[in-house]
Structure 1
Amino acid sequence: MEILVTLPLDEAGKARFAAAAPGHRLHFVEKDAVTPALLESAQAILGNLADPAQLRHCKELRWLQLDSAGTDGYCAPDLLPEGAVLTNTTGAFGACIAEWLLAALLALWRRLPEYAENQKNCRWQRLGPVRTLAGSTVLVLGFGDLGRNFARRAHLLGARVLAVRRRPGEKPDWLEALGGAEMLEEWLPLADAVVLCLPANASTRHMLSAGRIALLKKDAVVLNAGRGSAVDTEALCRALYDGRIGGAALDVTDPEPLPPEHPLWHAPNTILTPHVSGLLSQPENFEKAAGICVENLRRFLAGQPLVNQVDRSTGYAD
């Protein structure tokens, strides 16, 4: 079997993958160096491509294993050959991204961006009251690996946590409430912080719309570490400049990368990072993602069910 591997592996990593596929031909190629010829013959691909549209070269593909949890672009209709299975690495990044969310939320509530600005200007000035997670109400949109990891940590620090998910599920005892999107209008006005942990698909686009942003408290903050398309960026920008909400922390934006001239760069009390909260280059994340890939490779060759199979109509892993 012809197997294309685009993960950035060292020699030990390559040996680990090869050991899971004895007797099969593995091509270890960086994603930017993948050629149409390699794609035409590949029956399995492990790792993302430079551009999902390259999959149109595939003739024999039976399985694509992404090295990301996000499936943006890979679920386009008729992109994968008929019958090909798509899997991702859900479970590899949740804990790491949850730490970014916690750091950003605490930075906003302890006014660290404002104090950093004062430091630049050599200004010794106390800015007044700060907020804590203890006793706050946090609304989490998306209760998969990322949302659950963050919600659990916020609860342990004393927050009352509400969570919205796309389909019913068992509510953990520590969670205050779990509901569907129909609860948003009721819960948004209660939230001190709204945390988005959503993938990009038609159902999540602008889930935090202009109308829903208008429901937020004047001092509420918005954090997004899922996908930028879940937020109406222009509406969020207006709310920040008008002082209608308390701040934002965004690791993802729409558009992305954010153009240098975009007003969001200079929005009041806003933290922006360039989609770095869960990088594959972080050793812990890479080890988890590689582990999922190797296990699925073993399962694929043994004819066993694969973990993290993606429903291409939603972009979610089952």
Structure 2
Amino acid sequence: MTTSSVDGTGRGTIAIVSDVEPRFATAVVDAGGVVEPLSGDTRGLVWTSPSGEDELERVLAAYPAISWVQLPWAGVDAFSGLLRRHAGDGRTWTSAKGSYAGPVAEHALMLALALLRELPRRVRAGRWAHDELGRTLHGTHVVLVGGGGITVELLRLLEPFGVRATVVRRTDAAVPGAGRTVTSVGLVDALADADVVFVTAALTDGTRGMIGRDAFAAMPHGAVLVNVARGAIVDTDALLTALGSGRLGGAGLDVTDPEPLPPRHPLWTAPNCIVTPHVADTDAMTVPLFAERIGRNTRAFLGDGAFEGVIDLEAGY
């Protein structure tokens, strides 16, 4: 294990908590860093522990010299309180946002196609029941709520379908592949002729419950919803009402509110609804991708390039 990049202050000493995946340590070492247990020399922290923000808070209090913290997930809502408390503390905070965009976008596309082709009903039929129901994705109007890496990757996957794409995000800055971009103020208007609505946004105070009664009322009859972001962005009661009335043509949910979704919850049997248990990005997909993020950010930590996935502590993602 090299120590050539570590100066007298322990600048390159990085702790991984919990250190259960050897590829993460390999990524640090290959990038020029040194992996050691937490100590007064620790300057970088890769947090992979299943423990929540309280445990991380205790670690930061015990080792105040830590100047860079790498969080393991694309969404950081589980650490929202801690991030607010540490805004302005001088540390660099990075997440995995963007790292898992490919697998998640692929899952979102799968859910949308399954809904449009009536798969929830067909796979449960148990008998040959021919009908002419089913729609194509080609040429549809797609609304993507969120403007991050998943949306960018999803727009790339949607290119062969010739969709018209509208992105709804915090700002109206253009997103590659989208026909237009509007701010969240324009959500209801954007939904007025949407065929498919993808939810890919981060969960913040501003996005919590934003797909609710008004949003469902704005969608045309038969529109379908896919949520691969966070369950609480969608109002579950409003979703059930929209599905039950037949106004919403279907819902594909990799995330739910509550989560895990309890047995016998009405979403399990709601018409034209697919629930997958937060598996759009499994460990087999994410571990190598997160190792790549760790390696690139270790190099940035050592002064070679810029950090990726930097968290905006004020915005909450």
Pairwise TM-score range, normalised by the shorter structure: 0.7 to 0.9
Alignment deviations for residues 238-264 of structure 1 (CA, whole Å, 9 cap, x no partner): 111221211100001111111224211
State the shift of 1:39 in Å: 8.4
- Tell me which residue corresponds to 2:47: 47
- Tell me which residue corresponds to 1:94: 101
Equivalent-residue separation in structure 2 for 1:129 and 1:113 (angstroms) = 13
- Tell me which residue corresponds to 1:307: 308
Please, which of 281, 284, 292 is the counterpart of residue 282 of structure 1? 284
Alignment deviations for residues 192-234 of structure 1 (CA, whole Å, 9 cap, x no partner): 1111001111111111121111111221111100111111111
Structure-2 change in CA distance of 1:124 and 1:303 (3 Å): closer
- Tell me which residue corresponds to 1:156: 160
State the shift of 1:303 in Å: 7.8
Structure-2 change in CA distance of 1:25 and 1:158 (3 Å): closer
State the shift of 1:4 in Å: 2.0
Tell me the amino acid that sits aligned with residue 251 of structure 1. Answer: D
Tell me the amino acid that sits aligned with residue 77 of structure 2. Answer: D
The unaligned stretches of length 5 or more in structure 2 are 1-9
Contact 1:296–1:307 (CA<8 Å) still a contact in 2? yes
Moved over 4 A (4+): 38-42
1:2-81 equivalence runs, <5 A: 3-5=14-16, 6=18, 8-10=20-22, 14-22=25-33, 24-27=34-37, 38=38, 42-50=42-50, 51-57=52-58, 58-59=60-61, 60=64, 61-76=66-81, 77-78=84-85
Tell me the amino acid that sits aligned with residue 249 of structure 1. Answer: G
Equivalent-residue separation in structure 2 for 1:69 and 1:313 (angstroms) = 16
- Is 1:105 paired with 2:112? yes
Please, which of 190, 194, 197 is the counterpart of residue 187 of structure 1? 190
Contact 1:155–1:161 (CA<8 Å) still a contact in 2? no
- Tell me which residue corresponds to 1:167: 171
State the shift of 1:82 in Å: 2.7
Equivalent-residue separation in structure 2 for 1:71 and 1:8 (angstroms) = 21
The unaligned stretches of length 5 or more in structure 1 are 28-37
Tell me the amino acid that sits aligned with residue 244 of structure 1. Answer: R
State the shift of 1:92 in Å: 1.3
| Residue range with higher mean Cα deviation, 244-253 or 81-90 | 81-90
State the shift of 1:80 in Å: 7.8
State the shift of 1:183 in Å: 1.8
Equivalent-residue separation in structure 1 for 2:19 and 2:101 (angstroms) = 19
Equivalent-residue separation in structure 2 for 1:13 and 1:256 (angstroms) = 28
- Tell me which residue corresponds to 1:294: 295
Structure-2 change in CA distance of 1:41 and 1:248 (3 Å): farther
Equivalent-residue separation in structure 2 for 1:109 and 1:305 (angstroms) = 41
Alignment deviations for residues 39-77 of structure 1 (CA, whole Å, 9 cap, x no partner): 888532113332122122122232210122111222313
State the shift of 1:185 in Å: 1.8
Equivalent-residue separation in structure 1 for 2:109 and 2:124 (angstroms) = 21
SS in 2 for 1:75: helix
Contact 1:67–1:293 (CA<8 Å) still a contact in 2? no
Instruction: Tell me the matched-pair count.
Output: 298
Contact 1:55–1:79 (CA<8 Å) still a contact in 2? no
- The root-mean-square deviation of aligned C-alpha atoms, in Å, is 2.2
Contact 1:218–1:244 (CA<8 Å) still a contact in 2? yes
Structure-2 change in CA distance of 1:95 and 1:78 (3 Å): same
- Tell me which residue corresponds to 1:217: 220
What is the percent sequence identity of the aligned residues?
A: 32
Tell me the amino acid that sits aligned with residue 167 of structure 1. Answer: T
Contact 1:64–1:85 (CA<8 Å) still a contact in 2? yes
